[in-house]
A and B are shown apart, each in its own frame.
Chain A
Amino acid sequence: MKLAVVVQRYGAEINGGAELHARYIAELLAARHQVEVLTSCARDYVTWRNDLPAGDDTVNGITVRRFETSSERDPIDFGLRSRVVFHEPHSLAQELAWLRSEGPTSPALVRYIRRHANRYDLLLFFSFRYYHAYHGIRAAPARALLVPTAERELAVGLSLFAPIFRGVRGIMYNSHEEQAMIRAVSDNAHVPGVVVGVGSKVPERTSPQRFRRTHGLSGPFIVYVGRIDENKGCKELFDFFLRYASARSRSLSLVLIGNSILPIPEHPRIRHLGFVSDEEKFDAIAAAEALVMPSFYESLSMVALEAWALGRPVLANGRCDVLRGQCIRSNAGLYYDTYEEFAEALLALTTDPALNEGLGARGRAYYRAHYTWPVIERKYQDMLERVSSDEAAAGESRLEPLPGWLARRHRTSPAATEVLARVPTGAVQVDRDGRSHVDRPRP
């Protein structure tokens, strides 16, 4: 089968969540299929500047075709348009203008897809929210598979995406919560979908002692891995940890791994290590009492899966439906909504070795059952075969056409905040029959 992976950025050095996800999947599928990557020349996800040369390239043995973006993102224009479409009734034309402002605006990429889609059996589009996915799917709907990587974000509530969710041939979801959310906003239950996620290249062996020696850490610690950002819940994590450190624990430290765009409190028990190698990251997770995931919005926490792969429990923000759902379904992590819950759960994880080990063991089992590469590959393979064998759907497009010039300008689309507010919240429970339902709406 000849496949194209279409993603906003691509490269060995690009470590964004969706981009890394796309690279892992491309490399996984390349073992069985002929895979090409279609992407922009951008390296920076804020400006979409053309940092890399346009044309063909090879990354880890996979052909990558890069297309220039026609304009960089203007943050002021994007901010103004975002305010309108997210918070006010608006028109479809305004949403399309917002999408163009968001980028990566690469008409050359879309043109290529429109002209050469028949060269590929299927095209896998990553990240629904960007220009390349929306216009790329509209250019080749009959061959489009979507990996939305959607979290509970306002863009999900925009009316232009619902036809996309309904019109693709299949959707690879990252989590049951993501599936429930997209079904609620677009009513796309008829579209073949499977919850897959992504694995990780977790090493067979780690050396916690080496990490402790290198960084002079002797006492117990919890670790956070990721961008240190208020949007990732780090500010709340700092508040909670400082309260916990002064009131409950005299020895527990917080180790932070990742680049920081948020001031980190000066405290003897908060250690920021910055960006570290993968080897060191895995050593750190293995040495930690637990991994803490304070993020409010996640599509799939790869680092949580890595912690579970290494047999470490996770302490997650329970207000993120995906993390809460993963903790409940895996039985491998605790979650918190308030400081009191954070403190009690952390105390339990750090003072009860049986609980800590038990959760870690369940995490390892959960990872093996759902996120190892053979499992991921089988799910992708099943979906590719299912879609390609559906001859009836292969030739025709189910994608609803765009409304006419005048209709696009009618302000009939509600604010995205209103749409998202109507979507049920809470972790999703999966029955033994595989049917999922929102367990209990979060207060």
Chain B
Amino acid sequence: MSDFSVRSDGIDVERIMQQIRARIREKRGVDYTEDEIRELASVKLDRFLDPKQLRSGLVEQFRKARESAPPETYDFEDTTIYESHRLPFLATIRRLLNPILKLFFNPNPIIHALHLQSRVNKRLVAKESLDYEVMSNLVLELTRLSVEVKNLRMRVESLSTRLDFDERRARALEGVVQLKPGALSPDLSTLGPERVPAGGSEGSEGDAASKAGRRRRRRRRRRPGSPGDEAGVGAGPHASQTSPGGDTDAQPDAEDDGPGTESSSGEDS
């Protein structure tokens, strides 16, 4: 929302535009001139260039090549072919004799072609500076993108590490809740109907599963010093080593799923 305080009789568009420009400056931080922006760009170029990934001397090499062998050009006007440096009046005589010369051949197309060539040369020279600018900008952009990719890669790695840590922490906390000595088993009646199926074959499976879960917890309580307690603080591998029947997959499943009905399936099988 803008905040210009205006009345219809007191509007001054130039003042409003100054306010708008001031706001843009505030947002941008500093109002850089074109030259300053160019200077900043070159500074960043030097700072970010990575010689392993980029020919950092490319721009410099191009610049030096241009300075050492500047492209040749010349001025060619329609009077050039008549000029004489030592005898200036000769130009007038040559010009006077031009009609006779024209009886033999027409010099105008040649003059025109050479004039055009001189213009083409000048354009090429001008284009070189444009090429340099384009190349410089490309190098700059490439460097910026390379730095940005590096930053993003580091961020992804950092996020991935944090995610791993959080997952481990969540597992550990779930284990603590599940395996704390003296903890009450969850009251299945408080769970929703979908978690407590009633009647039929599904109901009998659910009953069997909950009984198996209770059996497993009773077994753990009977062995207070067993490594199953340590599993509560994240010692999953120890727990699996000591699980009955030597089923190494069964215990981690139980840890993952906590005290639910599904955790018993591994043991029952």
- CB of A351 within 8 A of CB of B1, answer yes
Once the chains are docked, how many angstroms separate the CA of A331 from the CA of B20? Answer: 15
Interface residues on B, range: 20 to 34
Could you say which of A330, A335, A351, A354 has the most chain B C-beta atoms within 10 Å of its C-beta?
A354
- CB of A331 within 8 A of CB of B17, answer no
Q: Which B1-28 residues have C-beta < 8 A from chain A?
A: 1-8, 11-14, 16-17, 20-21, 23-24, 27-28
- CB of A328 within 8 A of CB of B13, answer yes
Once the chains are docked, how many angstroms separate the CA of A328 from the CA of B14? Answer: 6
User: Is A358 located at the chain interface by the 8 A CB criterion?
Assistant: yes
Q: Which residues on the B side are within 8 Å of A332 (C-beta)? A: 11, 13
Known: A348-B2, A362-B11. A341 touches B21 (CB 8 A): yes
Q: Which residues on the A side are within 8 Å of B1 (C-beta)? A: 351-352
Known: A327-B13, A331-B13, A359-B11. A344 touches B4 (CB 8 A): no
Q: Which residues on the B side are within 8 Å of A348 (C-beta)? A: 2, 4, 16, 20
- CB of B8 within 8 A of CB of A357, answer yes
**Among B11, B14, B20, B78, contact of A344 (Cβ-Cβ < 8 Å):** B20
- CB of A335 within 8 A of CB of B17, answer yes
- CB of A354 within 8 A of CB of B17, answer no
- CB of A334 within 8 A of CB of B24, answer no
Once the chains are docked, how many angstroms separate the CA of A333 from the CA of B28? Answer: 24
Known: A327-B13, A351-B1. A358 touches B20 (CB 8 A): no
**Among A327, A340, A354, contact of B6 (Cβ-Cβ < 8 Å):** A354
- CB of A358 within 8 A of CB of B7, answer yes
Once the chains are docked, how many angstroms separate the CA of A271 from the CA of B107? Answer: 60
Q: Which residues on the B side are within 8 Å of A352 (C-beta)? A: 1-4, 6
Q: Which A71-109 residues have C-beta < 8 A from chain B?
A: none
Once the chains are docked, how many angstroms separate the CA of A80 from the CA of B12? Answer: 46
- CB of A362 within 8 A of CB of B8, answer yes
- CB of B6 within 8 A of CB of A358, answer yes
Q: How far is the CB of A297 from chain B (nearest CB, A)?
A: 21
Known: A361-B8, A362-B11. A355 touches B78 (CB 8 A): no
Once the chains are docked, how many angstroms separate the CA of A259 from the CA of B110? Answer: 48
- CB of B12 within 8 A of CB of A331, answer yes
User: Is A347 located at the chain interface by the 8 A CB criterion?
Assistant: yes
Once the chains are docked, how many angstroms separate the CA of A334 from the CA of B13? Answer: 7
Interface string of A318-330 (1 = CB under 8 A from B): 0000000001101
- CB of B78 within 8 A of CB of A411, answer yes
- CB of B2 within 8 A of CB of A355, answer yes
Once the chains are docked, how many angstroms separate the CA of A327 from the CA of B15? Answer: 12
Interface SS, A side: helix
Once the chains are docked, how many angstroms separate the CA of A251 from the CA of B205? Answer: 57
User: Is A345 located at the chain interface by the 8 A CB criterion?
Assistant: yes
- CB of A355 within 8 A of CB of B13, answer no
Known: A354-B6, A357-B8. A333 touches B13 (CB 8 A): yes
Once the chains are docked, how many angstroms separate the CA of A359 from the CA of B13? Answer: 9
Once the chains are docked, how many angstroms separate the CA of A352 from the CA of B16? Answer: 12
Known: A344-B23, A355-B6. A334 touches B78 (CB 8 A): no
- CB of B23 within 8 A of CB of A334, answer no
- CB of A331 within 8 A of CB of B11, answer yes
Once the chains are docked, how many angstroms separate the CA of A361 from the CA of B8? Answer: 6
Once the chains are docked, how many angstroms separate the CA of A327 from the CA of B6? Answer: 16
Q: In chain A, what residue has the closest Cβ to B7?
A: A358
Q: How far is the CB of A119 from chain B (nearest CB, A)?
A: 47
Once the chains are docked, how many angstroms separate the CA of A300 from the CA of B122? Answer: 39
Q: How far is the CB of B255 from chain A (nearest CB, A)?
A: 48
Once the chains are docked, how many angstroms separate the CA of A328 from the CA of B13? Answer: 6
- CB of A334 within 8 A of CB of B17, answer yes
- CB of A334 within 8 A of CB of B20, answer yes
Q: Which residues on the A side are within 8 Å of B14 (C-beta)? A: 328
Interface string of A343-378 (1 = CB under 8 A from B): 011011001101101110110000000000000000
- CB of A351 within 8 A of CB of B8, answer no
Once the chains are docked, how many angstroms separate the CA of A335 from the CA of B28? Answer: 19
Once the chains are docked, how many angstroms separate the CA of A327 from the CA of B8? Answer: 15
Q: Which residues on the A side are within 8 Å of B23 (C-beta)? A: 344
Q: Which B60-84 residues have C-beta < 8 A from chain A?
A: 78
Q: In chain B, what residue has the closest Cβ to A339?
A: B24
Once the chains are docked, how many angstroms separate the CA of A359 from the CA of B7? Answer: 9
Once the chains are docked, how many angstroms separate the CA of A347 from the CA of B27? Answer: 14
Could you say which of B14, B21, B27 has the most chain A C-beta atoms within 10 Å of its C-beta?
B14
Once the chains are docked, how many angstroms separate the CA of A348 from the CA of B4? Answer: 8
**Among B11, B12, B20, contact of A345 (Cβ-Cβ < 8 Å):** B20
- CB of B7 within 8 A of CB of A347, answer no
Q: Name 28 A/B residue pairs within 8 A (Cβ), A-sorted.
A: A328-B13, A330-B13, A334-B13, A334-B17, A334-B20, A335-B13, A335-B17, A340-B27, A340-B28, A341-B20, A344-B2, A344-B20, A345-B20, A347-B2, A348-B2, A352-B4, A354-B5, A354-B6, A354-B7, A355-B2, A355-B11, A355-B16, A357-B8, A358-B7, A358-B8, A358-B11, A361-B8, A362-B11
Interface of B toward A, CB cutoff 8 Å: 1-8, 11-14, 16-17, 20-21, 23-24, 27-28, 78
Extra inter-chain contacts (15) besides given A344-B2, A357-B8, CB under 8 Å:
A328-B13, A331-B11, A331-B13, A332-B13, A334-B20, A335-B17, A340-B24, A341-B21, A345-B17, A351-B1, A352-B2, A354-B4, A355-B11, A355-B16, A411-B78
